[in-house]
Amino acid sequence: MIARPPLSMLDLESAALGSRWPLTAVLDALPWNDDGLIAAIAQQHDTGEVLMLAWMNRQALAETLERGQVCYWSRSRRQLWRKGESSGHRQRLVEARLDCDGDAVLLLIEQQGPACHTGRPSCFYNAIRDGAVHVISAPQETPA
């Protein structure tokens, strides 16, 4: 048997429609940052609204893919953070996608309750307009 070189993200960039690779090989090829993290964007699957940006390490991504409930890496607490564990505002994974060069993962999710710790539906509630920042959504509930 001839040994194959490890998968590169360039292999995915030039891949034909319908190409497939084992998940482990792709995870090995991801350009995790120096802290072993990748940016994760949570997007409501049915409306397309971008809800939040967080970080995942390999364990958080693997757990998310395995269990279908989103898990992140908390950089401040330096531990796994299972979204909604204390608030009940869970995120159910519908589909995960990698961007073209593998430095971000898009999580198409079903959000239960507000996504933001402020109680707002999305973390992106500060709109930059006409030289000022405008708060464009109110909390749905009082933050914990």
Q: What is the pLDDT of residues 27-72, one digit of tens each?
A: 999 999 999 999 999 999 999 999 999 999 999 999 999 999 999 9
* Separation in Å, CA 84 to CA 3, 4, 87, 109, 116: 44, 41, 5, 13, 10
Q: Is 116 annotated as a binding residue?
A: yes
> What pLDDT is recorded for position 8?
86
Say what the pTM is: 0.90
Q: Dihedral, CA atoms, 34, 23, 102, 72, nearest 10 degrees?
A: -60
Q: Is 103 annotated as a binding residue?
A: yes
Q: Is 101 annotated as a binding residue?
A: yes
Q: How confident is the model at residue 26 (pLDDT cuts 50, 70, 90)?
A: very high
Per residue in 61-118, pLDDT (tens digit) is: 999 999 999 999 999 999 999 998 888 899 999 999 999 999 999 999 999 999 999 9
Q: Is 35 annotated as a binding residue?
A: no
Q: Is 123 annotated as a binding residue?
A: yes
> d(Cα 42, Cα 21) in Å, to the nearest integer?
24
Nearest to 29 by CA among 10, 48, 54: 10
Burial of 43 (0-12, 13-18, 19+ CB in 10 A): buried
Q: Is 100 annotated as a binding residue?
A: yes
